[in-house]
Amino acid sequence: MRAIYRILDANFNRAREALRVVEDCGRFALNDPAVTAAAKCMRSDLKEIYTALPVAEMLVSRDTPGDLGTELTSPAERQRADVHDVAAAALKRLTEALRTIEEYSKMVSPEQAGRVERIRYSAYTLEQRLMSRLTVGRRFGDARLYVLITPGQCRGPVRETAAAAIAGGADVLQLRAKEMSDAAALSLAAELRALCDETGTLLIVNDRADIAAIVAADGLHLGQDDLPIAAARRLLRPGAIVGRSTHSVEQALAAVKEGADYIGVGPMFATATKDYAPVGVAMLRAVREAVDIPIAAIGGITADCAREVFQAGATCVAVSSAVCAAEDPHAAAIAIRGHSRL
C-alpha cells in the first residue's frame, strides 16, 4: 500500500496548492467573494477528508528526494503570460489531482472517495466561473443583445425584468441607475451580479467605477464626460472591460486610442433617453470602417429596425425601453435578438 499512500499524499498536496492559487486569484486579482469562498471551502473540505484517511502512513510514505516527477517538467510549465494562464493551469492541476485522489481513495476509504467526487464536480463549476471572468473581452465580442436595465423604465420588479431579458437572449446587462441613491444602486448591482453569475451573462455598470469594483462587475461603461479609461481601470479587476459612448467617427477613434474595449455608437434613432441628435446608420457604417473593436449600437432600436443596424456593422444592439418597458420583456428580447442572425 505504500505506493498508494504516496500517490494520495502527493495529490492532496497538489490539490491544496492549486486551490490556494485559485483562492488568491479570486481574492486579490478578481475581488470575487464567491470564487474566493468556494476555493477556501474546498481546501477546508479536502483537509477534513485528508485527516479521515491514514495520515501517518501517507506521511511516512512520502519520498520527495526519490520522486522522479520533481525532475520532469515541460517548457510550457515555466511560462505564464498573465493571470489567466496562472489560473487555468491551477484549475487543471486541481481537477486532475482530485480525480487521482478519488480513484485511489477507493482502495482505502470508499466513503471519502465519494466526498472527493462531489468536490471534483464543484471544481468544474468553479473553473467555469473563474475562467469566464477572465475571458470577458472575448465573450463581449460574441454578444448580440445588450440590455440596459434602467429601473425607472421597468414595469415590474427589476430583477424579474432582468431575468426575462436574459431568458429572451440578452448576452449582456448594463445597470443604468442614475436616479438611485448610492446604497440602492449598490444593492441592485449586487443582485444583478448574482443573477448574471447564475445565467452566465455579462454585467456592465454604467458610470460608477466604484460600484463596478465592489460587485466585481465584468465591465464599466463611460460617457464622453466621465472618467478617463486608464483611471477607471485602476479601480476595476483584471479582465474587466471598459466601453465608451461615442457619437462621431472622431470620438470613436479617440476612444480606441484611449484604450476602450468596445464603443457605444448612437443614438441610432430618436429616443427620449439620449440628449444627442440621432446619428443614423450611415454614421455607424463610417465608424465600422474606421475601428476594429466591438460596436454596441444604441438609441431608439426596436425589433423593427434591429436588422438594419446589424447590417450596418453593429456587433450588438443595446436597448433599454424596448425591453425594460415592454409588457413582455422576454418576448421583446426574443424579437430583437432574432435579427442578429443575418
Same domain, 258 and 335: yes
Average pLDDT over residues 129-140: 89
70-118 per-position pLDDT tens digit: 666 666 667 888 889 999 999 999 999 999 999 999 999 999 999 999 9
- pLDDT band of residue 285 (cuts 50, 70, 90) is very high
pLDDT the model gives residue 78:
76
The CATH number of the domain holding residue 308 is 3.20.20.70
Same domain, 201 and 324: yes
Q: Are 204 and 221 in contact (CB under 8 A)?
A: yes
pLDDT the model gives residue 221:
98
Give the structural domain span for 59.
2-133
pLDDT the model gives residue 68:
67
Q: Which three cell numbers stand for residue 67?
A: 520522486
pLDDT the model gives residue 73:
66
| Count of structural domains within the chain | 2
Is 342 a residue whose pLDDT tops 60? no
The CATH number of the domain holding residue 16 is 1.20.1260
47-70 per-position pLDDT tens digit: 999 999 999 999 999 988 777 666
Task: Report which secondary-structure segment, H or E, holds 18.
Answer: helix 2-24
- Alpha-helix runs per DSSP H in 168-279: 182-199, 209-214, 229-233, 249-258
* Domain edge (last residue) among 85, 101, 133: 133
Catalytically annotated residues: 176, 245, 274
162-206 per-position pLDDT tens digit: 999 999 999 999 999 999 999 999 999 999 999 999 999 999 999
